[in-house]
Homo-oligomer: A and B are copies of this chain.
Amino acid sequence: MITFEEAFEIVQNAAKLTLKTERVHFIDSLGRILAEDIFSDINMPPFDKSAMDGFACRKQDIGNELKIIEVLPAGSIPKKNVGKNQCVKIMTGAIIPEGADCVLMVEYTDETPDGNVWYTKKSTNTNICYYAEDIKKGELVLSKDIEIKPQHIAVMASVGAVQPLVSMKPRIGIISTGNELVEPDLIPSSSQIRNSNGAQLAAQVVRAGAIPNYYGIAVDTREATFSVITQALNENDVVLLTGGVSMGDFDFVPEIMIETGVDIKFRSIAVQPGKPTIFGTFQNTTYIFGLPGNPVSSYTQFELLVRPFISRLMNNSHLPKTIKIPMGGEYRRRKSERKSFIPVTISSDGKVYPVEYHGSAHIHSYVFADGIVSIEIGKEKLEIGELVDVRQI
């Protein structure tokens, strides 16, 4: 059995970056992974620009009465130069007229009875945003491989990058297995439970920026399982299969994966929950994860192992981040042969607290969880005040 860190490494290194790219309208690019560098086609600001509403004049004339020679809204071109004891009434964003070297803020000015302007303070900042001080024409403004956020859309807008190139979303096939399962819209009989993993994984896939394809609950025969795995491998970039991966007599999924041509890279990980997690590759272009049937195990291994893999496939340079936060409550466990992942809440006092958790079938423990923290092999306790890495969920 390998460690979680070894499994993570194997999974990340297996990813061949074969996803195609596509151009989308920049307004629709939120959450996509940028697949090209973006350069500015203009200088920003494109001219010396007033940062304030006020009066553009010469600094050396502060203290004198100034005559207004022009009124200048944003978007207009100045017609006059500013000379001694002259000023231009100017709006935020407008072009600084020739001759002026500062803008007096309107809040600190008075008008004289004959319509001139009088500055009530002794000195001023220039209040000018200078030509090209933020960005120069040709400068790199967005690097490829970032996940696009609203502020990046603003940058694209400002440089006219209205059709950015982004990675295609990977297609993720989802297969549930288990004779005891019925779909959520049915009433389970006495030996059945509803399938919660399929829908949960579909939602996790959407949140990871990919496209879920749900294949339903596989009939629990070798033939049917072989056939649905083969179909899913051929129709997707990644296949997620839940259930049928532990040591029970009816858990023939790993064997069938091999029969379909999957090269299994590992069959279990020293983690809790999620030990019977399988990973394999198919013809070096498609990937398959066998996740445990318990909803908490499946949820956790998706977030910690599969989601960073999907990010990697899209060439996202930022894997999901952890944040270091101190423990507000203690956590103890009796066995420490495996790395454990435990659900926590992040409290307003800046600390994390473990939530009540009955085990890997107890998905309700995650209802209030904000994050997952881990406890290493050999460690039985997280102390109050101990700094832990929190993966927000």
Q: Which A residues are closer than 8 A to B by beta carbons?
A: 26-27, 30, 41-42, 44-47, 49, 51, 53, 71, 73-77, 89, 91-95, 106-107, 129, 133-135, 141-142, 149-162, 178-181, 184-188, 190-204, 206-207, 220, 246-251, 293, 295, 299, 321-325, 346, 348-350, 358-359, 361-364, 366-367, 369-370, 387, 393
How many angstroms between the C-alpha atoms of A41 and B194 in the bound complex?
A: 11
B367-A141 in contact (CB<8A):
yes
Are B93 and A207 in touch, CB under 8 angstroms? no
Indicate which residue in B42, B106, B179, B203 contacts A76 across the interface (CB closer than 8 Å).
B179
Provided the pairs A77-B190, A363-B151 are in contact, do residues A247 and B358 lie with their beta carbons within 8 angstroms?
Answer: no
Q: Are B324 and A157 in contact (CB under 8 A)?
A: no
Interface centre among A154, A362, A387, by most chain B C-beta atoms within 10 angstroms, is A154
> Which residues of B have CB within 8 Å of A77?
190-191
Q: Tell whether, in the assembled complex, residue A149 and residue B195 are in contact, meaning their CB atoms are under 8 Å apart.
A: no
- Interface contact A180-B93, CB-CB below 8 Å: yes
**Smallest CB–CB gap between A201 and chain B, Å?**
8
Identify which of B75, B156, B160 contacts A180 (C-beta below 8 A): B75
Give the CA-CA distance A74 to B45 in the complex, in Å: 67
A160-B178 contact in complex given A51-B359, A53-B246, A364-B134, C-beta closer than 8 Å: no
- Nearest chain-B residue to A343 (Cβ)? B151
B158 touches A106 (CB 8 A): no
Contacts A129-B359, A135-B364, A363-B151 hold; do A160 and B141 have CB atoms under 8 A apart? Answer: no
Q: Which residue of B lies closest to A389 (CB)?
A: B350
- Whether A196 contacts B363 by the Cβ 8 Å rule is no
Do A91 and B250 have beta carbons less than 8 Å apart?
Answer: yes
| B180–A47 CB distance below 8 A | no
- Asked if A346 meets B359 with Cβ closer than 8 Å, knowing A191-B95, A197-B154, A299-B154, the reply is no
Known: A91-B249, A162-B184, A248-B91. A323 touches B346 (CB 8 A): yes
A74-B361 CB under 8 A given contacts A190-B46, A191-B47, A323-B325: no
Which of B160, B198, B324 is A350 in contact with, Cβ under 8 Å? B324
The reply to whether B361 and A193 contact each other, CB–CB distance below 8 Å, is no
Q: For residue A154, which residues in chain B have a CB less than 8 angstroms away from its CB?
A: 196-197, 199-200, 295, 299, 363, 366
A142 and B200 alpha carbons, distance in the complex (Å)? 15
Which residue on chain B has the smallest CB distance to residue A197? Answer: B154
Q: How distant is the Cα of A46 from the Cα of B81 in the complex, in angstroms?
A: 85
| Contact of A199 with B155 in the complex, beta carbons under 8 Å | no
Chain B residues lying within 8 Å of A325, measured Cβ to Cβ, are 323, 325, 350
Nearest CB of B to A378, in Å: 20
* Cβ-neighbour of A73 out of B45, B49, B193, B250 (below 8 A): B250
Count chain B CB atoms within 10 A of each CB in A151, A200, A359 and give the residue with the most: A151
Query: When A45-B193, A134-B358 are in contact, do A184 and B203 touch as well, CB less than 8 Å?
Result: no
Q: Which residues of B contact A157 (CB under 8 A)?
A: 184, 194-196, 198-200
Q: Out of B93, B149, B153, B362, which one reaches A393, CB within 8 Å? A: B149
In the bound complex, residues from chain B placing their C-beta under 8 Å from that of A142 are 367
Max chain B C-beta neighbours (<10 A), residue from A141, A180, A190: A180
Residue numbers in B under 8 Å from A387 (CB-CB): 350
Residue of B at shortest CB range from A150? Answer: B203
A299-B150, A361-B51 are known contacts. Are A107 and B247 too (CB-CB below 8 A)? yes
- How far, in angstroms, from A27 to B184 measured CA to CA in the complex? 11
